[in-house]
Amino acid sequence: MVTMTADPHSQAVWADMLVYLRQFHAPMVRQWFTDLKPLQLAAGVLTLRCGTAIQQTYLTMKCRDVFNEAAQRATGKLISVTFVCEGTGASGQNLYPEVILCPDYIFDNFVVGPTNELACASCMAVARRPGKNYNPLFLYGAAGLGKTHLLQATCQELVNHQPDARILYISCEHFINHFMESVKSGDLSQFRDLYRHHVDVLVVDDIHFLGGRERSQEEFFHTFNALFQQGRQIILSSDSPPVEIQEIEERLVSRFASGMLARLERPSFETRLLIVQKKSRLRGVVLPDDVAAYIARRFENNIRELEGALTKLQGYAMLNGGKYDLDIAKVALGDMLPPMERAVSIQRIIGHVTAFYNVRLQDLQSKRRHRSVTLPRQVCMYLARKYTSHSLEEIGGFFGGRDHTTVMHAVRAVKDLCRFDTVFTGQLEQLEAKLPAELGRPAAGATSAASRNYAAAGR
């Protein structure tokens, strides 16, 4: 058990970490991160308390490396982060740990509209009274319309309302693999015991993958019957209605269709707009109305793609001082050729320089001062200054929170090197030769790639 009292030092470190995460890993950051409580920083370990076990598992499995990086940047020391969950909130202890649930996938974050309200209401009803209302519950619809979100929301609601329920949430693929492995290793009776006798709610995502898998179908048929006869809840999702699943036995089709069938269809523009707004709020981003509408209009068929667009836009905005406007959105989403001053340029510069010097962007953004890192960092700053219109402050900030004088120094250092180091000059020319073809033309004042006239960089 970890002490409950937060010490001031860990609070300060966590505050710095959040700033760092927002600046360099914006698409990963969620509003609920601000509810995490720093408990202590001791023996090189920062302990953060999560509200729920689901958050704890998610952060441990998906975010730990980045949190470690942030802790090291915030302290300058080799600190690692650990996540704990105490008493309060849903325990999730009866969730089998096969799949990591995403804390974002809850009912509150699901936007309901005419094309998904039946599916959502059915899931909510099942979450309140599993095994009583609709059994099985079968959700179907095309990719990216929210099936997984609803299944996970149902699980999370169940964890809240029925902490003792034993919930098994798996992908169909997991079921098939687990079954095959059990056959191979001779553990079939253990497998059957788990699925048929130790589960109150069985949730299987993408059940259409059973198509063409005869032995797995046979096994699932018996699993289904055993659970159903005991009044256990079964929830399934699929990309098509039961009758349209390819190569699946008739007896499974009739069982899948014997309870509640709920279809998810493409949401309307209005619903998509609400989804964009909800998703951006979750990420702590305030999008101007025209940008939100632009994204909602562009992505009609698949909400996953719509979310991908938001992630891309965040990446661009990160390099533009956190600014969101329609021009940036159009560039980010590929509707406009990037004016060469914009984000792509710096990313391409980084791509070429890191490949050439065999270093990682993290190294360039780190505090390391070894020449193997400082030289490529200076070259990046020099090229960013020469070929983009980012300010000295922006460039310094991007390369590890350095100030404008560091960038000025880098530009000078590169120019000095060019004066007496012909090998370096040749390398720089090679690097520059790769840029203009992609960038279009150098920023105002810069000359051709192979030119030795570096005057423009000093502007």
Chain residues binding Mg ion by CB under 5 A are: 147-148
- Of 274, 276, 278, 280, the closest CA to residue 26 belongs to 280
Q: Using CB under 6 A, which of 38, 103, 136, 146 touches ligand ADP?
A: 146
Contact 135, 165 (CB under 8 A): no
Residue number closest to ligand ADP, CB atom: 146
b (16+ CB within 10 A) / e for 14-34: beebbebbbbbbbbbbbeebe
Which entry of ligand ADP, Mg ion, none binds 140, CB below 5 to 8 A by partner kind? none
SS3 71: helix
Residue 338 binds ligand ADP (CB under 6 A): no
* Residue 138, CA distances (Å) to 111, 206, 238 in order: 20, 10, 8
Among 18-26, 138-146, 191-199, 386-394, the segment contacting ligand ADP (CB under 6 A): 138-146
Which entry of Mg ion, ligand ADP, none binds 195, CB below 5 to 8 A by partner kind? none
Q: Using CB under 6 A, which of 303, 349, 428, 443 touches ligand ADP?
A: 303
Q: How far is the CB of 148 from Mg ion (least distance, A)?
A: 3
Which entry of ligand ADP, Mg ion, none binds 94, CB below 5 to 8 A by partner kind? none
Q: How far is the CB of 139 from Mg ion (least distance, A)?
A: 10
Q: How far is the CB of 425 from ligand ADP (least distance, A)?
A: 49
Residue 415 binds ligand ADP (CB under 6 A): no
Which entry of Mg ion, ligand ADP, none binds 82, CB below 5 to 8 A by partner kind? none
- Of 285, 298, 289, the closest CA to residue 332 belongs to 298
Residue 99 binds ligand ADP (CB under 6 A): no
Contact 86, 2 (CB under 8 A): yes
Residue with smaller CB distance to ligand ADP, 37 or 263: 263
> What is the DSSP secondary structure assignment for residue 36, as one 8-state letter?
-
- Of 414, 337, 335, the closest CA to residue 374 belongs to 414
Contact 441, 338 (CB under 8 A): no
The two three-digit tokens of residue 12, written as one number: 């300060």
Interaction pattern, residues 148-187, with ligand ADP; x per rule: CB under 6 A? xx--------------------------------------
The two three-digit tokens of residue 88, written as one number: 């309060």
Residue with smaller CB distance to Mg ion, 147 or 279: 147
Residue with smaller CB distance to ligand ADP, 47 or 148: 148
Residue 147 binds ligand ADP (CB under 6 A): yes
- Of 319, 340, 338, 321, the closest CA to residue 445 belongs to 340
Q: How far is the CB of 270 from Mg ion (least distance, A)?
A: 24
Interaction pattern, residues 105-124, with ligand ADP; x per rule: CB under 6 A? x---xxx----x--------
SS3 90: coil
Contact 38, 10 (CB under 8 A): yes
The two three-digit tokens of residue 43, written as one number: 């023996």
Contact 353, 379 (CB under 8 A): yes
